[in-house]
């Protein structure tokens, strides 16, 4: 990202920029992609210090943009109910689940 007055990366300011862009262009959701939680197979309740999920949900809500969290399947499957409840209470609108590595009926 060029021409911005902040250090782009996995941080609140970058995602605020994305949310502002989405709001200006009628895009309903922004995905916090890989990097918002500690690591791919870690506890999804551990968020990197540069990201404040609640703040971003509130910021997006004020602008009509929902937040979706990317999550690796193995980290989410460990405690799916608790994780989803926790983030839905913050205002997260959904999850993009990745790395299921199967396409059989029980997995899908």
Span 34-91, pLDDT tens digits: 888 887 667 888 899 999 999 999 999 999 999 999 988 877 778 888 999 999 999 9
pLDDT of residue 40: 60
Helix (H, G, I), strand (E, B) or coil at 97: strand
pLDDT of 107 over the 90 cut: no
pLDDT of 26 over the 70 cut: yes
Give the DSSP letter of residue 39: -
pLDDT of 93 over the 80 cut: yes
Provide the residue ranges of all domains of the chain, joining segments of one domain with +: 12-98
- What is the rounded distance in angstroms from the CA atom of residue 48 to the CA atom of residue 38? 6
- What is the rounded distance in angstroms from the CA atom of residue 48 to the CA atom of residue 83? 16
pLDDT of 104 over the 90 cut: no
Give the torsion through C-alpha atoms of 21, 26, 31, 36, to 10 deg. Answer: 40
pTM recorded for the entire structure: 0.86
* Full strand arrangement of the beta sheet holding 29-32: 29-32, 66-72, 94-98
pLDDT of residue 100: 65
pLDDT of residue 57: 98
CATH number, domain 12-98, options 3.30.365.10, 3.20.20.70, 3.40.50.1820, 3.30.1490.100: 3.20.20.70
- What is the rounded distance in angstroms from the CA atom of residue 100 to the CA atom of residue 93? 21
Average pLDDT, integer, range 26-36? 94
Helix (H, G, I), strand (E, B) or coil at 96: strand
Tokens of 47: 């968020």
């Amino acid at each position: 990202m060029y021409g911005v007055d902040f250090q782009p990366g996995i941080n609140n300011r970058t995602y605020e920029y994305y949310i502002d862009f989405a709001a200006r262009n009628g895009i309903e959701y922004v995905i916090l992609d890989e990097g918002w939680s500690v690591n791919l197979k870690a506890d999804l309740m551990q968020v990197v210090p540069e990201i404040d999920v609640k703040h971003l949900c509130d910021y997006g809500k004020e602008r009509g943009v929902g937040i979706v969290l990317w999550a690796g399947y193995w980290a989410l499957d460990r405690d799916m109910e608790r994780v989803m409840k926790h983030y839905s209470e913050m205002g997260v609108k959904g999850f993009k689940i990745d790395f299921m590595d199967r396409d059989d009926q029980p997995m899908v």
